[in-house]
Amino acid sequence: MSAKDKQLNHEQPQLDPRMMQAMYGMPYEEDEIDLLEYWQVIWKKRLFIVVSALLAGILAAGISLTMPNIYRAETLLAPMGGEESKGGLSSMLGGLGGIASLAGVSLGGSSSIEENIAVLKSREFIWSFVKDEKLMPILFADDWDAENKQWLAEEQEDQPSLWDAWRLLVEGGVLAVNVDKDSGLVRLSIDWEDPELAKVWVAKLVTRINAYLREKAILQSEEKLKYLNDVLAETQIAENRQALFELISTEQKQAMLANTQKDYVFRVIDPAVVPDKKIKPKRSIIVLLTVFVVGFLAIVFVFIQEGLKKRKEEEQSSE
């Protein structure tokens, strides 16, 4: 390089790093991260960090031991029964659908699985189940005086209600109903402290939902038959009377199926049994997560404390 080039290079202004950051959007950091310094801070406060994490883990273990064991009883169901049979009978009628509509009668089809599950989880059905099985003192044992057989709260508004029972069972996750998208099978489960009770409740829920929907179908068939017979008595046209006779015959078959078919909407494939292992709480996971989280928070606290200490020292030295 010539002397002239060196002179020109020497005379070129040296840009300030902050100016380069403003001109080119280049990041600028005055202080580089010193990992060794961070490690020294952690090592200096290691006793505090370890003790905090261990104490939190011991506390979490103690609390987890007070949690009751929860067991899951479940059954596997196949959707079927009277509702599907209705769809088959309807298709047998062929052209009678229009006449049935004119008569104000729906031939019906199979209810979807979602509808039947919605009925199973409905307030009316759950309230009836809780009342008939006298489950309130069991569901809310902490609020029940077993010796005197009364609620601990004297005011009725402070006592558990059927609304509370529905929220606990349905929204609280005690009762769960899941549909396998591939097979269409339904898995109904109950999570409860008493494994025997969980198994009994699952079995009774299946029996009750079949009976409930079967009785509902029978009542609907009776109403339709009454209406069809009334329309038949007022109809004089032979062709319409013949169609009404067939509609009445079909509705009678539907009522017969509902009366004779025990597994009306759900057939049990794998019945519920008493579970032998708890599903929660996962005490080891609770303790490990607590130790990890508290240890991390302790490290953050140490860094903040050290940063405040440094800032205070710098302010004192500048004065």
pLDDT at 287: 96
Q: What pLDDT digit, counting tens, does each position of 266-293 carry?
A: 999 999 999 999 999 999 999 999 999 9
The whole-model pTM stands at 0.70
Least reliable range by pLDDT among 19-28, 153-162, 200-209: 19-28
Q: Report pLDDT for 5.
A: 54
Residue 198 has pLDDT above 90, yes or no: yes
Half-sphere exposure for 186 (CA within 13 Å, toward CB): 21
Query: Of the ranges 4-8, 127-131, 236-240, 255-259, which is most confident?
Result: 127-131
What tens digit of pLDDT does each residue of 144-170 get?
999 999 999 988 889 999 999 999 999
Q: Which ranges in 16-122 belong to alpha helices (H)?
A: 17-24, 35-44, 46-66, 82-93, 96-102, 113-120
- Low-confidence winner among 47-61, 129-143, 187-201, 259-273 (lowest mean pLDDT): 259-273
> pLDDT higher for 250 or 58?
58
179 has a pLDDT exceeding 90: yes
For 85-92, what is the mean pLDDT? 43
